[in-house]
A and B are shown apart, each in its own frame.
Chain A
Amino acid sequence: MAKKASKKTTSVRSHARKVPVSKKNPSGVTIVDKHVRRLEGTYLNREDIKKIIIGPELKGLTYPNSKKLKYPNSDKYDSLIALWVDYFNQKFKDEVPLDPNVVKALIGSESSFRENPSENKTAFGLTQITKQTLKILQDHKGEAKDFIFQNITKKDLLDPDISIALTTRWLFRKKQTAKSNLKENQQMKKLF
């Protein structure tokens, strides 16, 4: 019996696509093989992330506490944190929403608000995302398949716009794991 297709994806039949004329493609047409495409609203790529950030100013966002942490730049990313926490709280509609202070505390612990801490060779950027985590966040069959990212590279992790988005989504995944392990919906403070 054929496997039931996921609601997050659609199957695209093999089709022709116009490309610039080159030695490889003198006709200016190439054939794209049959593939699976994510449905809109179930993924974000670099360009989508940037569009959301420069989009209209959102009102009523919950900001993390300011002037509490004593690191240089500790309040610099408050609006980004508020934006992405709101985005994913709306997306996942969990009965216990994510507190933006959790994201801020995580950044404080992981990098002390440095965009490119150079001391660790296996984790990158403000939130110290590892290659393994990046892989999971982009795997349409992986544990974060409900909502994934596409075309994000290791270099992109040095961009706070992108790393905060990925981290916030990852925290929702971790919350889900804890919820299932502990058989109850935990407050974020309890989880940490």
Chain B
Amino acid sequence: MKLLQNKIYVILLFFISLINSCSTLEQPTFRELKEENDKYGTVLSTRSELIVLECEDLSHPENFYGFMIHTLGPSKEYFTFTQGNTLDKGSCFKRIKKMTSMMKGSKQIQLVGYGNGLPTEKSNRKINFVGIGEFSDSGIGYKFMALKNDRGECYDAYEGMTLPCPSAMKNPWSETK
């Protein structure tokens, strides 16, 4: 009987913690990087489940791949952070593996992007965020600069895993947690 009471207690605790964690799931937020009212970049704070990493075969004779990070925004449309240069196949898929392991178990992910964030033509392509659904393009894109998890690990677009985090642009980490 005592064992059963203990089990019920454990199950109750589990549900309480689950409800608690669900209610504290933060919405993605953008912090604009500005200078004299000119926006030059963004720092997006989001969750790993709202991120899809992709290596796209560019069908180039030199076997180039384009790297992209799609992320679901608060408006239920996705934004894309794109690598500025093309990558070779091996480097591209290797970084997906590394970034995936970095994001695992991290409650908050920060993405740094370069650009003014003005919308361009939307693509017709829908992106599937596993367990959440398929979403349309916002037409907004940034140049990918860096990704950071809540353990302080960073992945720089040009240098790979780096410590300390790179100041890819005018110190993007200064105001972030």
Contacts and interface: CB of A to CB of B under 8 A. Distances in A.
Interface of A: 70-72, 108-112, 114, 117-123, 128, 130, 132
B87 A70 contact: no
Contacts of A109: 84-85, 143
B85 A70 contact: no
Nearest to B90: A121
A111 B88 contact: no
Interface stretch (B70-78, B134-142, B152-160): B152-160
Contacts of A132: 61-62
Given A117-B158, A119-B158, A120-B85, A70 B35 contact: yes
A118 B160 contact: yes
B151 interface: no
Nearest to B143: A109
A119 B84 contact: no
Contacts of A118: 158-160
The size bracket of the interface on B is 20 to 34
Contacts of B169: 70-72
Contacts, number: 60
Given A111-B84, A123-B85, 18 more contacts: A70-B41, A70-B114, A70-B170, A71-B168, A72-B169, A112-B157, A112-B168, A114-B158, A117-B85, A117-B159, A118-B160, A119-B95, A119-B156, A120-B86, A120-B87, A120-B91, A121-B91, A128-B85
9 contacts: A71-B169, A72-B169, A108-B84, A112-B84, A114-B159, A117-B85, A117-B158, A118-B158, A118-B159
Contacts of B63: 122
Contacts of B95: 119
A119 B167 CA distance: 17
A70 B33 contact: yes
B51 interface: no
A123 B86 contact: yes
B40 interface: yes
Interface string B84-108: 1111101100010000000000000
A121 B95 CA distance: 13
A128 B156 CA distance: 16
A108 B157 CA distance: 12
A104 to B, nearest CB: 13
Contacts of B84: 108-112
A132 B152 CA distance: 38
A117 B160 CA distance: 9
B158 A111 contact: yes
A70 B156 CA distance: 16
B170 to A, nearest CB: 5
A160 to B, nearest CB: 15
Contacts of B145: 112
A11 B160 CA distance: 49
Contacts of A111: 84-85, 158
A130 B156 CA distance: 21
A104 B170 CA distance: 18
